[in-house]
Amino acid sequence: MVVAACDPYVDRPPAPAHDGIHGFAGGCYVMDATPPGSSNTRWLAAYDGGDRFAFCATSDTAAARFHVRAADLGTYLFYDEEGRYLVGEDDRFQRAAELDSDILLLDDTFRSPAEWDLEVSAHDPERFQLRHHATGNYLTTSGLTDDVAEAAVVALYPATGCAEFPELTVDADGAVAPRQWPDGDVYGIVETHAHLMTNFGFGGGGIFHGAPFHRLGVEHALPSCEQFHGEEGRRDLVGYAFSGLGEVDTTSLLAVFIAAMTPEFNHHTDGYPTFTDWPNAWKTSTHQTQYYRWIERAYRGGLRLMVQHATTNSVLCELMTGLGAQQVRYACNDMVAVERIITETYNLERYIDAQAGGPGRGWFRVVKSPAEARAVINEGKLAVLLGIETSNLFDCFLTPPPGQPACDAAKVRAELDRFHALGVRAIFPVHKFDNGFGPGDGDRNVGQIGSFINSGHYSNMVTDCPAVYSVFDKGRVTFGGINMPRASYLEPAPNDMSTFAGDPIGTVAPFVGALMEPALEGDHCQNAGLTELGEILIEELMQRGMIIEVDHLPRRSYVRAYELLVANDYPPAATHGNSNGGLVYRLGGISKGGLGRCADPERPGAMGDSLRARVAEIVANGGYPAEGFGFDLNGFAGGPRPRFGPDSACGDTPQANPITYPFTSYAGDVTFTEPHLGDRTVDFNTEGMIHLGLLPELIEDARRDGVTDVELEPLFRSAEGYLRMWERAEARGAALRRATLPR
| Tens-digit pLDDT profile for residues 527-549 | 999 999 999 999 999 999 999 99
What does pLDDT average to over the chain?
Answer: 96
Residue 194 within any structural domain of the chain: yes
Q: Are residues 311 and 412 in the same domain?
A: yes
Label residue 4 by pLDDT band (50, 70, 90).
very low
pLDDT of 445 reads 85
Q: Are residues 329 and 197 in the same domain?
A: yes
pLDDT of 5 reads 47
pLDDT above 60 for 145? yes
Residue 331 within any structural domain of the chain: yes
Whether the CB-CB separation of 618 and 581 falls below 8 Å is answered with: no
Q: Are residues 602 and 719 in the same domain?
A: yes
Mean pLDDT, range 447-463, rounded to an integer: 97
Residue 490 within any structural domain of the chain: no
Residue 242 within any structural domain of the chain: no
Lowest mean pLDDT among 8-17, 62-71, 386-395: 8-17
Residue 451 within any structural domain of the chain: no
CA distance 33 to 45: 12
Mean pLDDT, range 663-675, rounded to an integer: 98
- 133-143 burial, b at 16+ Cβ within 10 Å, e below that, comes to beeebbbbbbb
Q: Are residues 151 and 205 in the same domain?
A: no
Whether the CB-CB separation of 142 and 151 falls below 8 Å is answered with: no
Whether the CB-CB separation of 486 and 527 falls below 8 Å is answered with: yes
pLDDT above 70 for 502? yes
CATH number of residue 196's parent domain: 3.20.20.140
pLDDT digits (tens, 9 = 90+) for 19-57: 999 999 999 999 999 999 999 999 999 998 999 999 999
pLDDT above 60 for 267? yes
Q: Are residues 177 and 114 in the same domain?
A: no
Closest to 627 measured CA to CA, from 640, 617, 641, 638:
617
At residue 210, φ and ψ (nearest 5 deg) are: 105, 140
pLDDT digits (tens, 9 = 90+) for 308-329: 999 999 999 999 999 999 999 9
Domain hosting residue 126, numbered range? 3-158
Q: Are residues 99 and 179 in the same domain?
A: no
CA distance 273 to 284: 18
List 68's β-bridge partners, or say none: 78
pLDDT above 80 for 248? no
Type and span of the H or E element at 354: helix 334-356
Q: Are residues 137 and 193 in the same domain?
A: no
Residue 461 within any structural domain of the chain: no
CA dihedral 428→430→431→434, nearest 10 degrees, is: 170
Angstrom CA distances, 196 to 22, 306, 617, 633, stand at 26, 10, 30, 8
Q: Are residues 139 and 210 in the same domain?
A: no
CATH number of residue 64's parent domain: 2.80.10.50
| Runs of H (alpha helix) within 580-680 | 583-586, 609-620
Give the residue, 241 or 110, on which the prediction is more confident.
Answer: 110
582 CB burial (10 A radius; 0-12, 13-18, 19+): middle
Mean pLDDT, range 303-310, rounded to an integer: 99
Whether the CB-CB separation of 640 and 282 falls below 8 Å is answered with: yes
Mean pLDDT, range 450-462, rounded to an integer: 98
pLDDT above 50 for 453? yes
Q: Are residues 44 and 117 in the same domain?
A: yes
Label residue 256 by pLDDT band (50, 70, 90).
confident
Q: Are residues 176 and 286 in the same domain?
A: yes
Closest to 482 measured CA to CA, from 507, 453, 504, 506:
453
At residue 725, φ and ψ (nearest 5 deg) are: -60, -45
Question: What's the predicted TM-score (pTM) here?
Answer: 0.97
CA distance 385 to 202: 22
Whether the CB-CB separation of 181 and 79 falls below 8 Å is answered with: no
CA distance 734 to 631: 31
Mean pLDDT, range 62-87, rounded to an integer: 99
CA distance 447 to 439: 12
Q: Are residues 365 and 410 in the same domain?
A: yes
Q: How many domains does the chain have?
A: 2
pLDDT above 90 for 290? yes
CA distance 589 to 285: 29
pLDDT above 80 for 702? yes
CA distance 701 to 709: 12
361 CB burial (10 A radius; 0-12, 13-18, 19+): middle
Residue 420 within any structural domain of the chain: yes
Residue 664 within any structural domain of the chain: yes
Question: What is the SS3 assignment for 163-175?
Answer: CCCCCCCCCEECC
Angstrom CA distances, 80 to 45, 75, 86, 472, stand at 9, 16, 8, 53
pLDDT digits (tens, 9 = 90+) for 589-631: 999 999 999 999 999 999 999 999 999 999 999 999 999 999 9
Q: Are residues 75 and 128 in the same domain?
A: yes
pLDDT digits (tens, 9 = 90+) for 111-125: 999 999 999 999 999
Type and span of the H or E element at 350: helix 334-356
